Structure 1
């Protein structure tokens, strides 16, 4: 039998129309979107399915992404596909919490709405920046960022792709230093803030206060936390890790490697885009990666798993 991981993408993967066929053609999908509208006081289908300026604004993006991914996951689970472990990149970790039974879908959607607002408010637009550093060893990047103020490693995505984050001037200076150190490219990203940097420590503290009122349960399956790339096996660890996650490095490559070392051989990416599948090709080509983005994909995944 395959060991299956459900994995969930983070902010940046959002797109207009995500989850629309799940909403229009399944009772389960419709109920997830309608419940999100009820909880948050605005139309989630309108936000996700109609052209608008809000979908790329952090305070809306996060709730939209989590709603769409949960709707897709619930439809997949109703077809009998269950995960052995779960993980999500940054924002996607909240979907992993739902997959693991640690947090209810209601609480995940409500919490990420607050998380998005806190992250948006933390740093005035234009003061922070993020950049993807391509084709340079992590150790070389750690050396440069470690010797500088106001710049941090935000994401260890996969071999050859690491993201840095921090104060705009510091990130730009680090990009020049990293190119001089041998990076193939250093690309500034189109994001609204310096996510996963020390500049968001206060936002993390405020998120901790929000989480005080959120119920967390013991994990029904293990999930891997971004902060330490380790399995979380008890409810007592959850809130502290989520608070730290806002301003800490996302150890995605290490998280995937930990799941593979544990015998996971099939990864199902649930949510818009194929970002994580792209990373997977660089981390380990020996595992199976499947995607759920459309209703049609659910049939493909079910058939692929039956054929294994």
Structure 2
């Protein structure tokens, strides 16, 4: 959000805002749906809920590069408590589940030809059905905050679906914890709708790289802490 505020003050322009995974909270603040302060408090509250879950029912996540979607889905079908959490782009996926299941999935992915398999620094199985037990806690937390309709079109990581209504946004914030991220579908939908340039605002170029994997012709720009607009 600090980067976005600087980008705005220095004349950066945008017509649509989209988000990836837990980046939804920064996107909501950027779109004017929540205040900056409430966005921080939401993230803090969600973090505490996830921390508690991680201590009681730990999970894991891992990135897999180099297999097709069908290959990764087949691995998850063969291993109990393992799910596709992120469809990030051409042959780039994240799996999520119980710790043993993720370890087995990583091993099987390598055996089946994955170029790279990397354990992520999460101790909860985000974007999988295993997160459903905390949905009422999250829903209760969100009731303490005011959420308005976005002042700028806000596109979700569910394949490019727009988020318009405050009630719809609240439900998205709950469900996105246990539903997969379809970043590839989101990017392809935006390109089909005429988006010509993607600007990633932040200190990382992760989404920029993923967009280039999805469509090498897409124009991308990165605006970070030390970058110029």
Higher Cα Rg, which structure: 1
1:156 aligns with 2:80: no
Q: Aligned partners of 2:176 and 2:182: how far apart in 1?
A: 10
Q: By how many angstroms is 1:208 displaced? A: 1.1
Q: By how many angstroms is 1:167 displaced? A: 0.5
The answer to whether the Cα contact below 8 Å between 1:123 and 1:199 also exists between their aligned partners in 2 is no
Q: By how many angstroms is 1:115 displaced? A: 0.7
Q: Aligned partners of 2:71 and 2:56: how far apart in 1?
A: 29
1:201 aligns with 2:138: no
Map 1:14-33 → 2, pairs under 5 A: none
- 1:99 maps to 30
- 1:140 maps to 71
Over residues 94-127 of structure 1, what are the superposed CA-to-partner deviations in whole Å (9 max), with x where a residue is unaligned?
1111222222212111101001111111132893
Over residues 151-198 of structure 1, what are the superposed CA-to-partner deviations in whole Å (9 max), with x where a residue is unaligned?
111111121110101101111222233333332333222333322222
Higher helix share: 1
Aligned positions, number = 229
Map 1:116-131 → 2, pairs under 5 A: 116-124=47-55, 127-131=58-62
Q: By how many angstroms is 1:237 displaced? A: 0.9
The answer to whether the Cα contact below 8 Å between 1:194 and 1:200 also exists between their aligned partners in 2 is yes
Over residues 245-292 of structure 1, what are the superposed CA-to-partner deviations in whole Å (9 max), with x where a residue is unaligned?
112211112111121111111111111121111112201122221112
Q: Aligned partners of 2:25 and 2:177: how far apart in 1?
A: 12
Q: Aligned partners of 2:56 and 2:89: how far apart in 1?
A: 28
- 2:12 maps to 81
Q: Aligned partners of 2:113 and 2:94: how far apart in 1?
A: 15
The answer to whether the Cα contact below 8 Å between 1:122 and 1:202 also exists between their aligned partners in 2 is no
Q: Aligned partners of 1:175 and 1:294: how far apart in 2?
A: 34
SS in 2 for 1:123: helix
Q: Decide which of 117, 127, 147 is 1:216's aligned counterpart.
A: 147
The answer to whether the Cα contact below 8 Å between 1:227 and 1:244 also exists between their aligned partners in 2 is no
Map 1:226-265 → 2, pairs under 5 A: 226-265=157-196
- 1:32 maps to none
Answer with 184-193 or 249-258: which moved more: 184-193
Map 1:185-200 → 2, pairs under 5 A: 185-200=116-131
TM-score (norm 2): 0.91
Q: Aligned partners of 1:170 and 1:189: how far apart in 2?
A: 14
Q: By how many angstroms is 1:147 displaced? A: 4.0
* CA RMSD, 1 decimal: 1.9
Gaps of 5+ in 2: none
SS in 1 for 2:181: coil
Gaps of 5+ in 1: 1-69, 302-308
Q: Aligned partners of 2:155 and 2:200: how far apart in 1?
A: 15
